[in-house]
Structure formats: structure tokens, C-alpha cells
Chains A and B, each alone.
Chain A
Amino acid sequence: MTHPLRRAISTVVLCLVVAVVAVIAAPFIGPTPLSFGAVFSTRLPFADNTDAQIFFLARLPRALAAALVGGTLATAGVVFQALLRNPLATPYTLGISAGASFGAMVAITFGFVLPFGLPMGGVAGASLAGAGLAVIVVYALASARHSGLSTTVLLLAGVTMNSFFSALILFVQYLSDFTETFRALRWLMGDLDVAGYEPILAGLPIIAIALLGFGWLARPLNLLTLGADAAATRGVDVVRAQRVAFFTGSLATGAAVSIGGPIGFIGIIVPHLVRLVVGADHRLVLPASFGFGAAFLVGCDVLARTVLSPMELPVGIITALIGGPFFLYMLITRTRNTA
């Protein structure tokens, strides 16, 4: 094994370990002082143990949600950047998150709930439905005049759907009253306070399927970044790889947005940061992005719920405030080192 490859693999392992440590450590930090003796006490009944309830019902699900959403958005960003062969692509480029946001806005404004028994709230369910609608429309447009997927048409259709759904979001907000408008705006800033494990469990099967797809995609994506023709000459079933990338990336994005709202920046910053460290091989970039994205969002959420305590800062603000300068720093120092 060559030295750079060994270093890259160590980085991947380190990213995943940091993610696990972040999830374990995050519930120990928060605005409410907790007695950790009481949290892990087996003598106190759980129903009467507020410390344990805060730890296990408020903070732990939140850390898990942050890790899942952060890791998923980061890896979806990697997939879309490779599929569209565009470094500016994000999980939100193709209008999937705008569709999800439109679903959420409708649910917030008109206040419907899913039939009880379904493991998610009305807003999360509507958000997922909105994402599904966007996926169908964008795919139908991009494949209408081609046997496979035209990435150019995909990009144009996605950008158009983004604008279309954004207009629908504004229209729905215009119909709502002040409190609904404020709640809707707050949802758009991202919120990982999932208030239990149900929203995570509801999104997990979809994300798991998407991550399996990402695993299969690692090698084809390496070749697709060279261009469709180059990939085809090296034995890649380009159409199938593009379809898998589009659907798994979209599913992952829809599920992540339905859990935590459209949290910005992670899907573009984390993949580029990771590439600066481990190189461009998707077999390394994908797992490292998942680990780093997870750890990064868990950390951002800890800040979100502590810096203005007892109020909370929307996590989407933190990701941009920290991620932006950090990325620019990495960009400058790495570019200087390479030069």
C-alpha cells in the first residue's frame, strides 16, 4: 500500500471515528445543567427522571439526527457534483429540497397531519411528498428526449424547478398569517430538534437505501467524472449509473430535508474540504464526507443550542457562519501548499 493511500484511508477512518465521538459527546453538552449520576441511574424510574429524559429524549435523538442529516447531505453533495460534473452542484441544485420545502410550507400553513400510525409528523411527511413530486418532475423532464439522462437538461430542469417551487413557497407564505409565516421561515433555517426518535426512524430506511446506492456508485462515479463517453469505454453502464446517482441522491436529500429542514452549506463545503484532504477517489470521498459531515453538523448543532441559551440559533446559520470561513481558509492554505 502506498504511503498517500494509507494516509487517505487513515483520514477516512478518522472522520468516521470523529463522527461517532461527536454523537456520544454531544448529549453531555447543553443549556440545562444535568446530573449525569441521575442520567444513568437505574434506581430512579425513567418517568420521574427529568435528567435522563433530557439526555435520552431531547439531546441524544438530536445528536443522532444531526449526524444522519449531516452525513447524508454531505454524501449527496458528492454524488450530485460527480453526476453533474459541476463543483458548484449541491443536494439542493436539482430542486429536490425546494420541492420538500414546498411540501413543508403547505403543511405548516394549512396545518394537516398524516393519519396517526405513520411514524412522522405532518410537516415531515408533506416534505417527503414534496421531494418525491420534484424527483418525478425533474426525472421526467431530463429523460423525455433522451434514452438516458442528459446532465445538461437535468441541471436546467433542476434549476427551473428550484425557481418554480420557490415561487410556490412564496405564494403559500403570502396566503398565511404572521405566525405561520414566521414558523415557515424558521423551518427553512433548519431545525434538528426532532423531539424523539420517530422522525429519525421514519427517514432511516430511505437514507439506508440511498447510502447502499452510494456504495455501489463509488467506482462508476470515479469514471463518470471523466465524462460519459470516457466512462462508457471503461465498461460503465452510464445510463444505469446516472439513474442510480439521481434517484439515490434525491432520496437521500428528500429524507434529510424532511428530518432537519434545508440546512445549507454542508452539501457543498464538506465534499470539497474532504477532497482537499483525501483526493478525488469516491471510494474514499464518500465515507469520509459522511463522517465529516456528520461530525460537523453535530458540532454546529451543539453551538446552535448553547450559544444563545435558553434561545436557539437556527443551525443553518451556524453551518454557513463556520463553514464558509473554514472552507476559505482550507482553500487558501491547501492551494498555497500545492503551489
Chain B
Amino acid sequence: MTRHGPRCDKVQGPGFLLGVLVLSAMVLSAATQPAPKRIISLIPAVTEMLFAIGAGDQVVGVSSFDTYPAEVETRQKVGGLFDPNFERILSLRPDMVITYGSQDELTTRLKTANIPWFSYRHGGLADITSTIRALGVRTGHAAQAQTLASQIETELAAVKARSAGKARPRTLVVFGREEGSLRGLFVSGGVGFLHDLLELAGGENVMADVAREGLQLSSEQLLGRAPDVVIELRNGQAWSPDRRARELGVWRDARIPASRNGRVHLLADPSLVIPGPRVGQAARTIADVIFLQAR
């Protein structure tokens, strides 16, 4: 989901025709304004997109949470969602800043400083490719962005085709937990990137009826929802083998079908939780886990 600053056009795609019209308008609009040469991205997912469409050389600053691709280490860090360093942003003399949709204060200051911005919010799977295309148009890399978006769509379609006709195991996606216990479980609800990824990969989200991207799950809900498969995603570093065995041991006490059948999977890979250009690989990984295929 994207919203642009004063020099950009809005991108919203309720239907294909509208999407084509908007994209055409953006291309025409982009043709009338120069592509930015000094971009700052405060969103790790968008940073990945910029590098993937060939706009990496235009990126001069990234957020404090950016770690991928490796080139981001050579860029200036300018803070994050809650603490963007406006002075450092200004000092980099950007001609486009990628902000998150909730950073109203920052966008107001950017407007005052007459710096264009590109506002982004995490959405579902479809929003990844639409954002890539919009970024391509805005940064002068429309052709590469189109190629990348099409490639991602092909990858996702292939994963979806793999799961067609197969039984869909009832799956719980966990993205936060108090280590060493089953307290403080944070799980994917029925909307958003993780939900879309799971459903596309062939799982049935046991929390599909909750219209939220994430929620804290009580032990009662965990027992009541009785998932056949649990996929726990870890954004940080992978656990040591001993630690991993301990955490799996915690899950074995959960008294849910997934624990009884050895279907709790701990995956430590940041690409699985970042809605960026590596989403095709993420979908394959999730599908491999759901259908127990060697990776």
C-alpha cells in the first residue's frame, strides 16, 4: 500500500482497470519529473525492493533496522519508525524519503522542507508487487521493477499450483513467544502478509477469522484452535542446536495435535517476515514445511 508525497500520484488498485489507469498516470507523471538521485528508505522491506530493482546506487540512507542486502552497511543509518533522525536526514540532502504510513510528523516536516516522500504501509502479498512497480516508476527503473514483480508473481503462482488439490493442514503462524515457555504468544491473524503467505503456500490459517494482522494468543485459544501444524518464525539469529532442542521441548508440552505429531517447525530466517522481493523464496520455504518436503 503506497501513498506519495506532493510530487507523486496516489496508488490504489481496487480493480485491474483502475490499476492500469493509475499506473499509466504514474508513468506519465514520472516522465515529467526527474528520478530521485538521493533516496532515504526508513522501511527495510522497501530498501530491499530498491536494491532489487537496481535503484541501490540512488540509496544514500537507510533505517537503523536494515540488514539486507549487504550493501546497506555502507549507507548512513537515519533511525527507525519511532525515532527518525531528521537532522541526519536533512544532512544527506535527499530528493526522496520512503516513510511509513504512520509517520505523520516526519512527513509534515518533509513537506515543510520541500522534500518529496513516498509513503508505504505493510499490506498483503499483492501489495508487494504493486509497491515494487510503483517504486520502479518513481525511481526511473520501471522496466526492472516490472520484470521483478512479474518474476515474483510467477514464483508465487508456482507455489500456489503446488498446493492445489492437496489437503490444507490447519496451521498456526507464530512470530513472537516468551522464550523457554508458551507464554506471550503472538500469532498471525486473518489479514496481512503472513496470512496471505500461509494460505498461498497451502496451509489453512487457524486464526483466519480474526481480522487483524497479529494478536496475542491465550493458552485457551491455543488448545481450542488445536492446530495440526505450528510454524514459528524467528526474525533474529538462529538458535544454537541445544537451544533449538529446548524450545522444541517447550512446544512438546503444548498438548495440541502439532506437538503430538512432531509438526512444530522453528524457522529462523528474516526473509520470512519481511514483505519484500524475497517473498517467492519465503513462500517456497513455507510450502516445503507444510508439505514436509526436504529443503
Residues of A within 8 A of B (CB): 30-32, 47, 50, 53-54, 57-59, 62, 107-108, 111-114, 116, 121-123, 174, 177-180, 182-183, 186-187, 191, 193-196, 199, 305, 310-312
CA distance A33 to B215 in the complex (A): 20
Q: Judging by beta carbons under 8 Å apart, are A312 and B255 in contact?
A: no
CA distance A32 to B221 in the complex (A): 7
Q: Judging by beta carbons under 8 Å apart, are A183 and B179 in contact?
A: no
Which of B81, B176, B210, B215 makes the CB contact (< 8 A) with A179?
A: B176
Q: Judging by beta carbons under 8 Å apart, are B179 and A31 in contact?
A: no
Distance in Å from the Cβ of A6 to the closest Cβ of chain B? 42
Q: Which of B180, B182, B219 has the most CB of A within 10 A?
A: B180
Q: Given A113-B179, A113-B180, A114-B180: A177 and B220 within 8 A (CB)?
A: no
Distance in Å from the Cβ of B223 to the closest Cβ of chain A? 5
CA distance A15 to B26 in the complex (A): 68
Given the complex, which residues of A lie within 8 Å of B65, measured CB to CB?
A: 177-178
> Which B-chain residue is minimally distant from A195 (CB atoms)?
B219
Distance in Å from the Cβ of A63 to the closest Cβ of chain B? 12
Q: Judging by beta carbons under 8 Å apart, are A32 and B219 in contact?
A: no
Q: How many A-B residue pairs have CB under 8 A?
A: 103
Given the complex, which residues of B lie within 8 Å of A311, measured CB to CB?
A: 210, 212, 215-216
Which of B178, B184, B218 makes the CB contact (< 8 A) with A305?
A: B218
Q: Given A113-B246, A177-B65, A311-B210: A123 and B223 within 8 A (CB)?
A: no
The answer to whether B226 has its CB under 8 Å from any CB of chain A is yes
Q: State the majority secondary structure of interface residues on A.
A: helix
Given the complex, which residues of A lie within 8 Å of B221, measured CB to CB?
A: 31-32, 310
Q: Judging by beta carbons under 8 Å apart, are B255 and A47 in contact?
A: yes
Q: Judging by beta carbons under 8 Å apart, are A178 and B224 in contact?
A: no
Q: Judging by beta carbons under 8 Å apart, are A50 and B235 in contact?
A: no
Q: What count of chain B residues pass the 8 Å CB interface test?
A: 32
Q: Judging by beta carbons under 8 Å apart, are B186 and A182 in contact?
A: yes
CA distance A263 to B180 in the complex (A): 23
Q: Which of B35-81 contact A (CB under 8 A)?
A: 65, 81
CA distance A121 to B250 in the complex (A): 11
Give 8 nearest A-B pairs by CB, closest first. Answer: A113-B180, A121-B181, A58-B220, A32-B224, A195-B219, A58-B219, A195-B182, A193-B218
Residues 207-231 of chain B: 1 if any A CB is under 8 Å from the residue's CB, otherwise 0?
A: 1011010011011111110100000
Q: A108-B178, A194-B219, A311-B216 are in contact. List 17 more A-B contacts (CB 8 A).
A: A32-B220, A32-B221, A32-B224, A50-B226, A57-B219, A58-B219, A59-B220, A111-B236, A112-B179, A116-B246, A121-B181, A123-B178, A123-B183, A196-B253, A310-B210, A312-B216, A312-B218
CA distance A112 to B180 in the complex (A): 8
Q: Judging by beta carbons under 8 Å apart, are A179 and B212 in contact?
A: no
User: Can you list 14 A-B pairs with a CB-CB distance of less than 8 A?
Assistant: A54-B220, A57-B255, A62-B219, A107-B179, A178-B81, A179-B235, A182-B176, A183-B186, A186-B216, A191-B216, A193-B219, A195-B182, A199-B183, A310-B221
Distance in Å from the Cβ of B24 to the closest Cβ of chain A? 36
The answer to whether B291 has its CB under 8 Å from any CB of chain A is no
Q: Judging by beta carbons under 8 Å apart, are B218 and A186 in contact?
A: no
Given the complex, which residues of B lie within 8 Å of A186, measured CB to CB?
A: 184, 216
CA distance A187 to B183 in the complex (A): 10
Given the complex, which residues of B lie within 8 Å of A179, measured CB to CB?
A: 175-176, 186, 235
> Which A-chain residue is minimally distant from B184 (CB atoms)?
A183
Distance in Å from the Cβ of A338 to the closest Cβ of chain B? 43
Distance in Å from the Cβ of B178 to the closest Cβ of chain A? 5
Distance in Å from the Cβ of A178 to the closest Cβ of chain B? 7
Which of B179, B219, B223 makes the CB contact (< 8 A) with A50?
A: B223
Residues 159-184 of chain B: 1 if any A CB is under 8 Å from the residue's CB, otherwise 0?
A: 00000000000000001101111111
Given the complex, which residues of A lie within 8 Å of B181, measured CB to CB?
A: 121-123, 195
